């Protein structure tokens, strides 16, 4: 297991802003492909009764730097409170593959994500945590434990805990289907009351359309339904990647 790189980084990042997952957030997977380049587009929108709709989008460029490290830089946009769409942040995402795929019952990875919001009073948002994946025949399961905090922010904030998971049936490479879920629990040492947490779950579709060599388009999309008072009533999210 290649533990040294993420442990060095994580040791410096012992923690995140009290906010819920954005509508364009996606489920991370631990696999890394060395030498792969990708252009990644994500978007999403959410609605809640008596609340203005929220929308977000990001465009990124990523590269498989080594056999165990994938790095990607995004520019992010958002629209909220009935305002016009505006530039929101720059994000640097790093994913580390800690085990060789299929060698153990569970594949393990590690995420370190640093975001610089346009509003510098928010400081630097850091998200990190372990990524897990396992398979049973044609069923693939993913579960991620994520921690988030803003450093150097104008106002003090706590370390937050989030988790996400998905299950999908790999019917054929071009079309797979399953379910995705995202949850925000509150601070690590004091979870929010149940009605103040945010839980969203719903059906999802996935697929990969090859064009020869490394070239392919991957997609996944989901309709997430809020299951408690604090969550958005509905969230629609989409991710499209061009790999080459």
- Note the pLDDT tens digit of each residue in 91-106: 999 999 999 999 999 9
pTM: 0.88
Task: Say how far apart CA 146 and CA 124 lie, in whole Å.
Answer: 16
CATH number attached to the domain at 4-243: 2.40.160.40
Average pLDDT rounded to a whole number, residues 75-100? 94
- Note the pLDDT tens digit of each residue in 15-52: 333 345 688 899 999 999 999 999 999 999 999 998 88
pLDDT for the residue numbered 239: 98
For the record, the structure tokens of 106 come out as: 């569970």
pLDDT for the residue numbered 1: 43
């Amino acid at each position: 297991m290649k533990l040294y790189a993420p442990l060095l980084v994580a040791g410096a990042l012992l923690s995140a802003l009290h906010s819920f997952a954005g509508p364009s957030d996606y489920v991370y997977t631990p696999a890394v492909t060395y030498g792969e380049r990708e252009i990644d587009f994500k978007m999403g929108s959410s609605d809640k009764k008596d609340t203005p709709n929220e929308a977000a989008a990001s465009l990124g460029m990523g590269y498989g730097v080594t056999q165990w490290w994938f790095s990607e830089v995004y520019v992010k946009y958002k629209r909220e409170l009935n305002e016009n769409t505006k530039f929101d942040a720059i994000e640097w995402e790093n994913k580390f593959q800690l085990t060789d795929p299929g060698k153990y019952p569970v594949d393990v990875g590690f995420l370190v994500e640093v975001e610089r919001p346009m509003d510098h009073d928010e400081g630097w948002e850091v998200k990190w945590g372990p990524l897990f994946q396992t398979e049973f025949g044609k069923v693939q399961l993913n579960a991620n434990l994520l921690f988030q905090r803003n450093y150097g922010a104008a106002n003090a904030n706590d370390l937050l805990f989030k988790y996400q998971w998905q299950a999908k049936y790999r019917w054929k490479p071009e079309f797979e289907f399953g379910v995705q879920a995202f949850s925000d629990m509150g601070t690590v040492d004091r979870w929010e009351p149940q009605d103040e947490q945010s839980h969203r779950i719903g059906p999802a579709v996935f697929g990969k359309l090859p064009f020869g060599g490394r070239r392919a388009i991957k997609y996944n999309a989901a309709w997430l339904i809020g299951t408690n008072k604090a969550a958005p009533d509905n969230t629609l999210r989409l991710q499209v990647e061009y790999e080459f």
